[in-house]
Structures are given as C-alpha cells and as structure tokens.
Amino acid sequence: MPKMFPGGVHPKDGKALSAGSEIKTAPLMDKYIVPLAMHIGAPAKLIVREGDKVLKGQVLAEANGFVSAPIHSPTSGTVISISKTSTTGEMLSVNNCIGPTGTLIPAITIESDGEDKACEPLPTIDWQNADAKTIIDRIRETGIVGMGGAAFPTSVKLSPPPEKNIDTLILNGAECEPYLTADHRLMLEEAEKIVQGAMITAKALGVEKIIIGIENNKPDAVKIMTEVAGDRAVVKSFPVMYPQGAEKQLIYACTKRRVPKGNLPMEAGCVVQNVGTMVAIYEAVVNGIPLFERITTITGSPVVEPGNWKLRVGTTLDKVLTLAKGVKKDVPVGKIILGGPMMGMAQYSLTVPIMKNASGVLLLAQNEVKQYESLPCIRCGRCVDVCPMGLMPATMSVQIEKEQFDLAENTNVMDCIECGCCSYACPSRRPLVQLYRHAKSEINAQRRKNSQK
C-alpha cells in the first residue's frame, strides 16, 4: 500500500505492552488536584471557595470567554485548597501544582469523602431532532475538549464561521503515536458510543459524510468499527506511518484534500475529532455526564503491569503508577513522559495531575534513553525527506542556532507541526523540535510586539 502522505517515519511500535489489556476503571482516590488550565484558551474562572462541599460532576470553574472550557469535580468531597497562580505574584498555597509543561499552574485540591455521590445529571437531549445549538451548548457546558492531545475546546471547533462549507467529519482513530493504545482499546470496547457520538457531532456540524481513519496495525479495531458503523460512517484503514494521525496528514489521507498552508482544517471543508472526544460527547448529550474521566495508557518497559485505565482528571502521577503496580526493581527509570514518546512532555515530579488531554503515561528505562550530545548538522538530508509538512528542517535548524528568526520565518518554520520526525531521523542527535518551538515562540512574540506598535 503506498504511503498516504509525503515524509513520515517508522518508530518502534511498543504497543504490544498494553494493547492486550482491557480498560480498567481506576478506584476512588483520596485526593484529586484539578488544574484550572486544562485546555487551550483562557483558564476557567473559579466559582467555588475553599471549604465548599462539592458533588461529583459539579462545576468547579466556569469557562471565561468563548475559547475556554468549564472544569467539573471528579468526585464528591470538600475543596481543601485553591492555589492561585504565582505568575500574578499572589500568594501561593504550599501544595501548588506543577503542570505537564513544568510550570506552576493554578489548581483546586479536592479531598474525596469516599461516597463518590454524583450530582443529578443534565437532562438527555433527543439529538435526532434537536437543533445544532442545543447540542453545542451541551458540549460547551460539559467542558468537552479535544482528547487527542491538543485539548482545544470542542464547542469552538464545532461552530465554525458560517461561510466555511464543512462537508466531512473525520474521526481520528489512527493513534500513530507508539506505545499508546487508549484509542485502540476504546474502539474495541465502545464502538457503538463512538459512532453515536459521531452522529451527534455530524448533526451539530450539519454534515453527512463521516470517515473514521484507523492505522492497519489495529486490524481488530478496523473490523469492529466497520461492523458497528455499518452505513453510518466509512472506515478507512491506512498503512502504519507516523504521523498519520496529524490533522493535515489525516485529512489528506481520507479526502485527498490539502489544508492550505497557514490555515485551519475548515478551509479544506473538514473537521477532525478524536474517537475519545466522540465518547465524551455521547456521555454528555445522552447521559448528561460532564467530562472528568478519560482513558489513559500506562506503559513502558519499567512498568510492572502496563495497561489502559479510565482515570479521573486530577489523579496525580504517583497514584497513577501505583495503579500499574509501580516499577520493576531492576529497571531504573530514565524518563517519565505524559503523552507518547514522539510528542509527549517529559516530567520530573510525580505530583503532576492527569489532565483532560493526557493520552498516556510512558516510562522509559535508563538504557532506552541517553543524554545525547548534539553534533553540528552534516546536511545529510534525512530530515528533509521525512518532514511530513515538506519543510527544510536542516536549513531552519542552522538559522535558529544563530538566532536569525526572520530567516527561519521565511523558511516556513511557522508551519512546523512539531511531530518530531526530523529529530527522530537526525544522525547528529540535534534537538530540532526544541529549536523550532523556540523559534515559533520568538516569532509569535515578535508578531505580537509588531501588532501592538
């Protein structure tokens, strides 16, 4: 089968570790640290105070502004402390919370009272003949965000400007990131909910065509999804190639359309949603349950018992690892990663909580990860061949090392999707993705400064 998009790499699969184990629901924890900024956009606005009693699913913080999402309590209990952000210079409570990006983020600490009493769920919407607006309002109300890793508020994604003619909804079941099997297990066990969720989303978007893209290293998932979907959706199976699951590459694979450079997928008439988000939409619209749980893969060679778990938002990493029976004695841990090995973020403390977009907790042994010394670029061209966005990583990396960001800008560094293929393929072990993230933040800062002038 020919490659579905230019470039791409084949990292070691590593899915066998956790592909076999069903999704297990995590027991109730004693304490949850729920961050306020779990999505792209403005952090949520607090509406509870320390000492308040809350029920499971109760709103702790509302969305402030259009691009934002509310936060719901993962369990019933009392709010024991609220840490304000230190960046605004206010007082910071002792148990502040280190976010996945390593910076201190505001968080609410909830001590569960053990009863796990849920507040009464929202009324079921008969989505067949409800209009789009009620569905989208319900999605915004229940705080649903993209579960693939971006955590972009779904309600915003489902209400594009009217003049954009969207005709296809694409479900991202590719899960091209090695080691992660959350979506795979979800497709095997909740196929019906996914398809129903897709129908609801299609209704909200006013779209008929639904395509579900799955990589063919998950044949069982492809089989089940095709059976369950029937004629309601088209299931397409793609050859395994990272980053098949990236938005632009998936749209090109499914519809042979290319998203115009520097634009959003809606320019190509498509909206891409993760299969996990579909289940969340189904739960919200049909059962009225807000989003405070997600499927996360806990895997890696040091983990005693890798598996897929339904975790509540706010479970800290140390509790997550105790679920997986901790680490093997003889395998020292080199890295702890939130997300997959290609795009995940390395952590250095176990107090980081699981957020709405945590698709996996990956532990790598010390022999699998070394401290590399990066050598100068020998222009071998491997990164140019593998870049799925058709960029020139070699030229850009040399420009950014010399801090020539204007040069890097017109070598199109802003189109980099940080998929990591170039760093993966680079024989000089150069930290290319970090260089491009640095360049992009510098160029954005420069653009903000120019727009203010």
- Least distance in angstroms from the C-beta of 135 to another protein: 24
- Is the distance from CB of 30 to CB of 54 less than 8 angstroms? no
Q: Does 379 bind another protein (CB under 8 A)?
A: yes
- What's the burial of 111, exposed, middle or buried (CB within 10 Å: 0-12/13-18/19+)? middle
Tokens of 288: 């009225």
- Give CA separation, 451 vs 409, 447, 448, in Å: 17, 6, 5
SS3 assignment, position 437: helix
Number of C-alpha atoms within 13 angstroms, CB side, residue 26? Answer: 32
Amino acid at residue number 451 = S
Q: Would you count residue 111 as binding another protein (CB under 8 A)?
A: no
Rg of the Cα atoms in the chain:
22
Contacts of another protein in 3-32 (CB under 8 A): 5-6, 9, 11-12
d(CA 217, CA 210): 21
- Closer by beta carbon to another protein, 50 or else 137: 50
Choices 133-141, 152-160, 206-214, 364-372; region in contact with another protein by CB under 8 A: 364-372
Of 219 and 260, which has the nearer Cβ to another protein?
260
What is the rounded distance in angstroms from the CA atom of residue 272 to the CA atom of residue 252? 12
Query: Closest Cα to residue 244, out of 4, 17, 14?
Result: 4
Residues 36-65 that bind another protein (CB under 8 A): none
Give least dist CB 140 to another protein, A: 26
Chain positions 298 to 327 lying near another protein, rule: CB under 8 A, are 302, 304, 318, 321-322, 325-327
Nearer to another protein, 34 or 389 (CB): 389
Site string for another protein, 227-266 (x = CB under 8 A): ---------------------x---x----xxxxxxx---
Q: Does 395 bind another protein (CB under 8 A)?
A: yes
- Residue with Cβ nearer another protein (252 or 282): 252
In 3D, which of 363, 418, 358, 430 has the Cα closest to residue 394? 430
Please report, as residue ranges, which positions from 77 to 106 form the binding site for another protein (by CB under 8 A).
86, 89-92, 94, 96, 98, 101-104
Please measure the distance between the N-terminal and C-terminal CA atoms of the chain and give it in whole angstroms.
Answer: 52
Chain centre distance of CA 15:
18
Instruction: Give the total of residues touching another protein (CB under 8 A).
Output: 110
Helix (H, G, I), strand (E, B) or coil at 273: strand
Q: Which is nearer to another protein, 123 or 329 (CB)?
A: 329
Does position 412 bind another protein by CB under 8 A? Answer: yes
Q: What is the closest distance, in whole angstroms, from the C-beta atom of residue 321 to another protein in the complex?
A: 6
Stretch that binds another protein, among 135-143, 180-188, 207-215, 381-389 (CB under 8 A): 381-389
Write out the binding residues for another protein, residues 159-188 only, by CB under 8 A. Answer: 164-165, 178
